[in-house]
Amino acid sequence: MKQAYAIIRSIQITEKGTALAEQGKYFFKVNPAANKMEIKRAVEELYKVPVAKVNTMNCRGKLKRERTARYGQKSDWKRAIVTLKEGSRIEFA
């Protein structure tokens, strides 16, 4: 069983994420090998809130041009959209 801190890498605070936070949905950057059940357990353990649903998406890393004509690539990553049960919130300090 993986540790919760190894599954949840960070919470993403974006314009879209801020708008969805009013509906009880939060964006997390997670380990690409984590599945929905592990993500649900990790969020419940770390933030002490009940989770209703988890949606995930794999995001491809962007191409970045170097100083020469060659291109590099940032790492691929995974995003999880976690929907909390009615009346629950995550407080940011």
| DSSP labels, 67-91 | SSS-EEEPPPEEEEEEEEPTT----
* Domain coordinates in residue numbering, the chain: 4-84
Residue found by looking up tokens 């801020």 in the block = 18
Q: What is the pLDDT of residues 59-72, one digit of tens each?
A: 999 999 888 888 89
CATH class of 4-84: alpha beta
Average of pLDDT values for 18-24? 92
Residue 59 bridge partners (DSSP): 77
Please write the tens of the pLDDT for every residue from 24-62: 999 999 999 999 999 999 999 999 999 999 999 999 999
Which residue, among 83, 82, 65, has the nearest Cα to 74 in the 3D structure?
65
Whole-number Å distance between alpha carbons of 23 and 38: 23
